[in-house]
A and B are shown apart, each in its own frame.
Chain A
């Protein structure tokens, strides 16, 4: 008998018991994450209360009791938002005063941006190498499409406006500020004292003053600095100062990347007999730029948001179009609607850029381990 009880068969083992119900499933998750301590419970309750007083009224305002049709604000009779203006005005929000029969050019320029961006963002796409030649040509193609020439009817830049103006200034600033930023960052670390001092002065001055004062400079002072009979376009002047401003920030981001490259890399490149430019172009910069990608994208996002500042010198970007619409008698006081609409554009663009940058950050992070 004793023998038998000693050599128990496996079937006699106690069955596995399930964990206490309060620690698994929905209940367990709720207890662990929301009500693990009294402080946590209070936070949860406050959070739930805030959600309750914010979300339902907001949804109700934006969708359920909103008016969507009508010719002016008097057509909007319900309690909620009045989206009736969208029908009449959305073209103005997108294109500003760009001639209506030429707006297809803006659309094509925007569509062409997609094939120009893809080979730059994703290097595993087939044909990425050839695609990059198109990316290189894109700025010129887009300029011709927007401004005119080569058979296109010319459109003066004072007709630029709406979100298209934000994208134009933002994109031009992004394309130009990266190479200038690289040059400034290299200049700041140069052995030549004159180059170093000039780079430091440029970077510190442009980083130290608000963009708004630079825009006033572009609007008021740059014409004074030019020869008396020469005048150049206000949008171009804005692009110049926006570029200068963000290339100073870009330079600091890239300098951070350059500082992270160990000395051995420089010495190895020199040992191979590479000169300064080839050492930088082939060895140092590819590594430094890769580390600084998150910072570079953040600078891009900042630059793009800053394009709204052009309203202080009287350009009609999407924010100014919204601002002027809500002071129009037909749509007076629809400020919440207009600004939420404008905010949506920026949120979509900036949020996708920041998602892309954190995606890259994660990918590069695993590659380095």
Chain B
């Protein structure tokens, strides 16, 4: 009798002791999770055994035997699965980088224009933002792709000034052929950048000390653009353009941008641009009106007020959600599979079908996208901290 009483007392004490309770709960969670994983692993092994598949990443060394039409590195159908996946990864990175740049430009312009007191302009931007935001991006990608592939056939290409041609296989553009001496132009570009940065720093220090302004932006632009131009002409125009020429069935020379890439890039940048414009708008609105008034009270023009007063403060609000938009764009680039742009997911799907290594391919996908996500957020967090430090 006494024994049972004391043990029930013990049990109740464990139940009411928060630390004991949480320890038990965590232990149960771990055990449950471990059991779940064990069951899944044993199921998987049984299933793979039944289908005669083996696990492992050895297949990446096997020849792929399929073609890829858009490749940034050398690839033939004799190359390995691993190389095919790298080609896909590079295509993903290409469209993401292009999309991020375009979406940022579109988003910032649309965000600022939407706040403009020009009624027509702000309404037009609102319509653009609401339509693109509320329609699935996959639908937009497929829509633009259908329009581009519905363009005239190669025979009746639309000519853009006789140097570029638009048809249902994309845009064929002149390709630059670099000749001897172009290295100097590259050096000039580099020197221009460095000089522009140095001038900018010097101008800022001088303005901090003496209050005298210096047109650093125009000087910088002059250095970055002008210097290479001068060198370009001094070295005797070392770039030759390979202009596409019409042959019987196609074009010779130049390089082709596929309709898939254009459609994906355009849809992703307009879609993400609409979201970014909302972020920019709310960021600008979050800067209190007093700041604008104070700026005009000390005599700053509206353009300077925007650049020196509003945007630096708004950026602090803008950066964190902007990061997740960049990540979303990168992840949405995987929708390429629906129109056959050969990105990581699309090529991975082909690899999966050819090799049957489902688990490995999915693992590669997840690993790559997770690393891209973590790297982007690490970079943006660093940038965010740098901006935040300016505060006080």
Per-position binary interface string of chain A over residues 201-217, scored 1 when its CB falls under 8 Å from any chain B CB and 0 otherwise = 00011011111110011
Contacts of B46 in A (CB 8 A): 227-228
- In the complex the two chains form, is A44's CB within 8 Å of B130's CB? no
- Distance A308 CA – B149 CA, assembled complex (angstroms): 22
In the assembled complex, the Cα of A323 lies from the Cα of B138 at a distance in Å of 12
With both chains docked as a complex, state the minimum distance between the C-beta of A216 and any C-beta of chain B, in angstroms: 6
Flag B100-118 by CB within 8 Å of A: 1 or 0 each: 0000000000000100111
- Chain B residues near A339 (CB-CB < 8 A): 139, 142-143, 146
Does B334 lie at the interface of the complex (its beta carbon under 8 Å from any beta carbon of A)? yes
Q: Is the CB of A228 within 8 A of B47?
A: yes
Residues on A with beta carbons closer than 8 Å to the beta carbon of B124: 47, 50-51
Contact A43 B369 (CB under 8 A): no
Choose from A207, A216, A225, A308 the contact partner of B139 (Cβ within 8 Å): A308
Q: Is A266 an interface residue (CB 8 A)?
A: no
Knowing A210-B332, A210-B334, A333-B150, the reply to whether A305 touches B131 (Cβ < 8 A) is no
**A328 CB to nearest chain B CB (Å):** 14
Does B297 sit at the interface, judged by CB under 8 A? Answer: no
Contact with A along B31-65 (1 / 0, CB 8 A): 00100000010011011101000000000000000
Q: Would you call B130 and A351 a contact (CB within 8 A)?
A: yes
Indicate whether A152 reaches chain B with its CB closer than 8 angstroms: no
Interface size of B by CB at 8 A reads 54
Which residue of the partner chain, among B137, B143, B147, B334, contacts A305 with CB atoms under 8 Å?
Answer: B137
Query: B338 interface residue, CB < 8 Å from A?
Result: yes
Which residues from A are CB-within-8-Å of B47?
223-224, 226, 228
- For residue B21, give the distance in angstroms from its CB to the closest CB of chain A: 10
Find the B residue at minimum CB distance from A333.
B150
In the complex, whether B291 has a CB less than 8 A from a CB of chain A is no
Residues of A within 8 A of B379 (CB): none
Q: Which of B25, B50, B117, B334 has the most C-beta atoms of chain A within 10 angstroms of its own C-beta? A: B334
Q: Which residues of B contact A346 (CB under 8 A)?
A: 134-136, 139
As a 0/1 sequence over residues 321 to 346 of chain A, the CB contacts with chain B under 8 angstroms (1 = contact) are 00100100000010110010011001
Residue of A nearest to B143 (CB): A339
Chain B residues near A212 (CB, 8 Å)?
Answer: 334-335, 337, 345
Is the CB–CB distance between B135 and A335 below 8 Å?
Answer: no
- Helix, strand, loop or mixed for chain A's interface? helix
Query: For the complex, what is the distance from the CA of A309 to the CA of B113, rounded to whole Å?
Result: 32
Q: Tell me if B14 counts as interface (CB < 8 A to partner A).
A: no
List of B residues within 8 angstroms of A342 by Cβ: 139
Is A347 an interface position by the 8 A CB rule?
Answer: yes
Tell me whether A323 and B26 are in contact in the complex, defined as CB-CB below 8 angstroms, given that A209-B366, A308-B136 are known contacts: no
Give A40 to B302 CA distance when docked, in angstroms: 13
Provide the bound-state CA to CA distance between A192 and B19, in Å. Answer: 9
> Could you say which residues of chain A place their CB within 8 Å of the CB of B130?
351, 354
Closest-by-CB residue of A relative to B138 is A308
Chain B residues within 8 Å of A336, by CB:
143, 146-147
A-contacting residues of B (Cβ < 8 Å)? 22, 25-26, 29-30, 33, 40, 43-44, 46-48, 50, 113, 116-121, 124, 130-131, 133-139, 142-143, 146-147, 150, 327, 331-332, 334-335, 337-338, 345, 349, 352, 358-359, 362, 365-366, 369-370, 373-374
What are the 3 tightest A-B residue pairs by CB atom distance, in nearest-first order?
A350-B134, A194-B26, A210-B331
Given known contacts A208-B370, A212-B337, what 18 new A-B pairs fall within 8 Å (CB)? A40-B117, A192-B25, A193-B26, A209-B369, A213-B334, A213-B345, A213-B362, A217-B362, A224-B47, A224-B358, A228-B43, A308-B136, A308-B138, A312-B338, A326-B146, A335-B150, A343-B135, A351-B134
24 A-B contact pairs sorted by A residue (CB < 8 Å): A32-B117, A33-B117, A34-B120, A47-B118, A191-B22, A208-B366, A209-B366, A209-B369, A209-B370, A210-B331, A210-B332, A212-B335, A213-B365, A213-B366, A221-B358, A225-B44, A227-B46, A228-B46, A305-B137, A308-B136, A342-B139, A346-B139, A351-B130, A351-B134
